[in-house]
């Protein structure tokens, strides 16, 4: 089964100088494969000078927009994002996997909820999809977005957010916090830190009424916001994260495995189920489950290979693995046996994993 589908680029436009919004049309009858949930992302692959790169970009369209759209911000020196910003054109074909990710909550049309979103820079893309979908499909719910950027010129989707405020009169509140541009209200200038959040909760946001908070942005900002939300009384289950990149090595330390990888004690037998077929492979314990699958010509899904995106998620059915980094799975997924296979190393002589569950 082909995991990647062809998508034709039907529109490319700049939302700010350094970011493009790309509209895509699935080809070859693949439209159903791209029926996304708000807040999910697409993983693209492209060959750069003989090397395949895979990069994930969150869908910024709402469910009712009737389009598939991503926003790509150029990262200084970044291979894929620079190419997309400088060379991608209408009519080009991109290849992407079906939407993935669990950065969303279920929509319930009858309910009246208060949502709070925090976005930093390009982290607004999944939050935009969530807020558009939620406001359209939960008519009694409201959304407050705290949106952090360097300056006015770097605010992605600024006009669209203004239009949405008019469309959903009184139900969408956007607070722009700008790092370097001074604003009338001093609190709205600077970085979004734990302390600034505490002040926002004191003066501008009724945190007691918030049901769910969504956070997507640079990692230090996310950690500060999460700490402030917890201090203000939100539980972990009320806080949803989406991380784009991590500088951290991960929460867990990897155990040292003997250097004699060829010794049978350091080998594992892994039964790996993918697309309905199970293949049993023998692999050193210091090779990740994902690499064991890839080295044995299995087309296992992956993108970042850094424990950030969750594209490589699989379920451990038997045996034990050690996940050395996890910036993507939620605690409930881990307790159900899900792991990031790019970060998981076998501890037992036999493991059974399933990518299909």
Ligand X SMILES: Cc1cc2nc3c(=O)[nH]c(=O)nc-3n(C[C@H](O)[C@H](O)[C@H](O)COP(=O)(O)OP(=O)(O)OC[C@H]3O[C@@H](n4cnc5c(N)ncnc54)[C@H](O)[C@@H]3O)c2cc1C
Q: Which residues bind ligand FES (CB under 6 A)?
A: 302-305, 307-312, 328, 340, 342
The listed partner (ligand X, ligand FES, none) that binds 217, CB under 5 to 8 Å by sort, is: none
Alpha-carbon distance of 175 to 188, in angstroms, equals: 8
Choose the binding region for ligand X from 176-184, 301-309, 316-324, 335-343 (rule: CB under 6 A). 301-309
Question: Under the criterion CB under 6 A, does residue 244 sit at the interface with ligand X?
Answer: yes
Contact 235, 316 (CB under 8 A): no
304 sits near ligand X (criterion: CB under 6 A) = yes
**Beta strand pairing call for 212-216 and 321-323:** unpaired
Nearer to ligand X, 191 or 257 (CB): 191
Tell which one of 5, 55, 171, 313 touches ligand X (CB under 6 A): 55
Site for ligand X in 153-192 (CB under 6 A): none
Q: Which residue is nearest to ligand X (CB)?
A: 78
Give the strand order in the sheet containing 142-149.
172-178, 142-149, 114-120, 212-216, 239-242
Is residue 58 close enough to count as binding ligand X by CB under 6 A? yes
Six-digit token string for 330: 């939620």
The whole-angstrom separation of Cα 339 and Cα 335 is: 9
Supply the minimum distance, in Å, between the C-beta of residue 103 and ligand X.
Answer: 8
Binding flag, residue 308, ligand X (CB under 6 A): yes
- 122, interface contact from ligand X, ligand FES, none, CB < 5-8 Å by kind: ligand X
**Among the residue ranges 68-76, 88-96, 188-196, 270-278, the one whose residues contact ligand X (CB under 6 A):** 68-76
Pattern 81-110, binding to ligand X, x per CB under 6 A? xx----------------------------
Closer Cβ to ligand FES, 131 or 321, answer by number: 321
CB-based contact 325:250 (threshold 8 Å): yes
Quick one: tokens of 230?
């917890």
Span near ligand X by CB under 6 A; candidates 78-86, 175-183, 196-204, 227-235: 78-86
Measured distance CA(160)–CA(164) in Å, rounded: 6
User: Using CB under 6 A, which of 71, 117, 224, 346 touches ligand X?
Assistant: 71
Cα 294 from Cα 87, distance rounded (Å): 30
Hunting for tokens 């993918």 — which residue is that?
274
Nearest to 60 by CA among 72, 51, 50, 70: 70
Pairing of strands 68-73, 51-58: unpaired
Classify burial at 211, counting beta carbons within 10 Å of its beta carbon; exposed 0-12, middle 13-18, buried 19 or more: middle
Least distance in angstroms from the C-beta of 280 to ligand X: 31
User: Per CB under 6 A, does 12 bind ligand X?
Assistant: no
CB 240 within 8 Å of CB 215: yes
Nearer to ligand X, 23 or 142 (CB): 23
**Helix, strand or coil for residue 205?**
coil
23 belongs to the binding site for ligand X (CB under 6 A): no
| 352 contacts ligand X (rule: CB under 6 A) | no
Minimum distance, C-beta of residue 165 to ligand X, in the bound complex (Å): 22
Closest CA to 312 of 97, 129, 124, 35: 97
Residues that bind ligand X (CB under 6 A): 41, 55-58, 70-73, 75, 77-82, 122, 125, 244-245, 304, 308-309
């Amino acid at each position: 089964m082909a995991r990647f589908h062809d998508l034709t680029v039907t529109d490319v436009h700049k939302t700010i100088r350094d970011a493009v919004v790309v509209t895509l049309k699935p080809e070859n009858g693949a439209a159903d494969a791209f029926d996304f949930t708000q807040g999910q992302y697409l993983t693209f692959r492209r060959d750069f000078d003989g090397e395949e790169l895979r990069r994930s970009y969150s869908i910024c369209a709402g469910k009712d927009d009737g389009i598939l759209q991503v926003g790509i911000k150029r990262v200084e020196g970044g291979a894929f994002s620079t190419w997309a910003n400088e060379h991608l054109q209408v009519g080009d074909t991109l290849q992407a996997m079906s939407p993935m990710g669990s950065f969303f909550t279920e929509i319930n049309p009858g309910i009246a909820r208060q949502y709070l979103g925090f976005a930093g820079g390009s982290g607004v893309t999944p939050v935009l999809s969530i807020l558009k979908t939620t406001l359209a499909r939960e008519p009694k719910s409201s959304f407050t977005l705290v949106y952090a950027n360097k300056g006015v010129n770097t605010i992605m989707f600024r006009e669209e957010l203004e239009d949405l405020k008019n469309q959903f009169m009184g139900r969408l509140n956007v607070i722009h916090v700008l790092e370097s541009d001074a604003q009338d209200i001093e609190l709205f200038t600077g970085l979004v830190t734990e302390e600034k959040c505490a002040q926002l909760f004191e003066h501008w946001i009724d945190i007691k009424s918030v049901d769910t908070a969504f956070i997507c942005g640079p990692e230090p900002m996310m950690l500060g916001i999460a700490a402030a939300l917890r201090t203000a009384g939100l539980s972990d289950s009320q806080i949803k994260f989406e991380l784009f990149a991590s500088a951290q090595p991960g929460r867990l330390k990897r155990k040292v495995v003997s250097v004699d990888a060829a010794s049978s004690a350091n080998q594992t037998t892994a039964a790996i189920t993918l697309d309905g077929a199970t293949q049993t492979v023998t692999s050193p314990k210091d090779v990740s489950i994902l690499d064991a699958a890839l080295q044995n010509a299995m087309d296992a899904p992956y993108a970042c290979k850094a424990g950030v995106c969750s594209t490589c998620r699989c379920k451990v059915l038997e045996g034990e693995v050690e996940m050395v980094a996890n910036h993507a799975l939620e605690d409930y997924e881990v307790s159900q046996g899900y792991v990031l296979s790019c970060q998981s190393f076998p501890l037992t002589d036999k493991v059974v994993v399933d990518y299909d569950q």
